[in-house]
Amino acid sequence: MHFIAATALSMLAMQAQAKTVKVMVGQGGLKFTPDNIKASKGDTIEFSFYTSTHNVIQGDATKACNPVDKGGFFSGDMKVTSGKGTKTFTVKVDSTDPMYIYCGVGQHCQAGMTAVINPKADGDVKSYADNAAKADKNVTPKGDAFGGTVADAKLEPTESGSMVSTKGVSSMSPTGGAMTTGSMSGSATPTNSKAAPSSTGAASNLEGQLGAAVAAAAGLAAFIL
Ligand SMILES: [Cu+2]
């Protein structure tokens, strides 16, 4: 029992801090906004796409506009005819090592569509862009998206749920829609903060919140085990 409780608590501690970092791709020009992206281990980076066709590719640190040799991620091409696209691409951050990203469409990489996640120094963002400007090729992986999740932007739970509610409970799962609601349904946790504002939002009693959170975490643990 103690082991399960401790596991649930440590999972809770990890999840409670996780956040969604939003990055705009191609909003107002050939660029990522921001291009110096700070994310912690466990965070999710959510890319939104704007007019034109763009993609996001994890690039080789020393070969700008070329994908990493192994692993990495690729959003696939996102064609948007007007404004903000209806699809997002999300990537889970499981390390704080720098990740170099670019858009592989046309000459977008050379033109400034580069960014760095967790650069060792802020100057690395510009260095990578400078190298990209000189790259002789812009290389896009073949095939479909990999290394992340393409989703309908309107179904993102972060839009209506976890951003608004209490940190302890709702932010437990910034990304995983179906699994989250399933595993947490036994507790008093609201799946929609607007529909049930009182159960967590109004609770000023810390023990009550913690209890609910632990129950939710235990449910999650049970679900996984
Ligand atoms: Cu692009």
Number of domains into which the chain is organized: 1
Q: Is the pLDDT of residue 204 over 70?
A: no
Give the domain CATH number at 120: 2.60.40.420
Tokens representing 24 are 């705009």
**pTM for this structure?**
0.65
Q: Which residues contact 118 (CB under 8 A, 6 or more apart)?
A: 37, 38, 39, 96, 97, 98, 99
Predicted pLDDT at 17: 78
137 found inside a domain: yes
Å from CA of 47 to ligand 1 middle: 12
**Average pLDDT score over the chain:** 77
Q: Is the pLDDT of residue 43 over 80?
A: yes
Q: Coil, strand, or helix at residue 109? A: helix
Strands 99-102 and 114-117: antiparallel
53 phi/psi in degrees, rounded to 5: -115, 125
57 found inside a domain: yes
* CA–centroid distance for 29 within its chain: 22
Predicted pLDDT at 75: 98
pLDDT-based confidence at 1, cuts 50/70/90?
Answer: low
Å from CA of 88 to ligand 1 middle: 14
Predicted pLDDT at 181: 37
Å from CA of 104 to ligand 1 middle: 6
Q: Higher pLDDT residue, 27 or 157?
A: 27
Å from CA of 12 to ligand 1 middle: 37
71 found inside a domain: yes
198 found inside a domain: no
Nearest to 44 by CA among 92, 87, 76: 92
Q: Coil, strand, or helix at residue 94? A: coil
d(CA 109, CA 194): 41
Å from CA of 81 to ligand 1 middle: 13
- Amino acid 217 reads A
108 found inside a domain: yes
Averaged pLDDT for residues 156-179? 40
Å from CA of 53 to ligand 1 middle: 6
Q: Is the pLDDT of residue 8 over 50?
A: yes
Nearest to 89 by CA among 126, 58, 62, 113: 58
Predicted pLDDT at 22: 98
Give the structural domain span for 120. Answer: 20-152
Assess contact for 191 and 170: CB atoms under 8 A. Answer: no
221 found inside a domain: no
Averaged pLDDT for residues 126-149? 97
204 found inside a domain: no
Å from CA of 32 to ligand 1 middle: 9
81 found inside a domain: yes
